Each structure stands twice: as C-alpha cells, then as structure tokens.
Amino acid sequence: MKEISIVSKFSVYNSTSELPNDIQDLMEKAIGIRKKAYAPYSKFRVGTALLLDNGEIVLGSNQENAAYPSGLCAERVAIFQAGAIYPDSKIIKMAITAASDTNKTIAPIPPCGACRQSIAEYETRQESPIEIYFMGESGEIFKSASLKNLLPLMFDKKFL
C-alpha cells in the first residue's frame, strides 16, 4: 500500500474591493442575479456570472421547485445557458455568490457536487481551465485557478 497526497491551492481575497476590476464587475453581476433567485423553499439564493472568451457575460440563479430535486443550481443554469447560446465559446472565469434569507453567509460557499461535475465537463470539453471565484454574501472570496482544485479526482470522458 502507498499513500498519495493531493493539494489544492486557492488565492484568498479579503473583500470584493481587493479583486481585479474585471472580477469585481463579474461578482457584482453575480450578486445582482443572486437577488433574483427563485428560492422559496430553501431561502438560499445563489448567483453565478460567467465570462466567456467572446466577451459575453452569462448569468444564472438557482431555480427551485416544490418537487425536489427538480430545481437547478445557479452554476448549472449559467453553464447550460452558455453552452446553448454560445456553444463554441470557452468559459474563462466564473463568479459565484450565495446568501441565505435566514442567516448571514460570510464564509466562501463553493459549488455543490453536481455543479462541480458540470463545470468539470466544460473544462474537459474546452481543454482549458475555468477560474472560479466564490464567496458568501460578504467576507472572503476564494479563487481557484481550475475546477481541479475543487474536484481533484474528477470523472471525465477519458474513463468512458
């Protein structure tokens, strides 16, 4: 038997004012769309903004449904919309923010497992990493240079 060690590396920003200007703008768009999320059941609102290589910004917010799990997370709403509208464009950067209607979220909130797998599919498809920035409603922002930091042993098409 042997052991392996997998290390993930993140950059940490103390507030949105420390972010590069283009990421501040992307995060502000994510915050704006987060406020429009349809989350009557969980009261947990998530917003995502994607920057594509063609300069377009695609937004997504979580959309819940009384028949769980028929809703969809903000990250997948945005990714699938980008894939449908701009199928030949690459996702360069992604900003994610989450807030609760019932308590303050100050820790960075990463994508869920299903969203990580969807992001992995697009990173594999486009053969280039997606920078991912994520935060709560305030506080620190984590930056990952690639989805591989969040899902280091990712399942992709090479296993099929």
Q: Which of 3, 18, 28, 75 is catalytic?
A: 75
Q: What CATH fold (topology level) applies to the domain 20-151? A: Cytidine Deaminase; domain 2 (3.40.140)
Is residue 75 within 8 Å of 94, Cβ to Cβ? yes
Mark whether 75 is an active-site residue.
yes
Q: What is the pLDDT of residues 85-95, one digit of tens each?
A: 999 999 999 99
Is 103 annotated to bind a ligand? Reply is no
pTM score: 0.95
β-pair partners for 61: 47
Q: Which stretches of the chain drop beneath a pLDDT of 70?
A: none
DSSP 38: B
The domain segmentation of the chain, as residue ranges, is 20-151
Rg for the chain, CA atoms, rounded: 15
Is 95 annotated to bind a ligand? Reply is no
Is 126 annotated to bind a ligand? Reply is no
| Residue showing tokens 């989350």 | 39
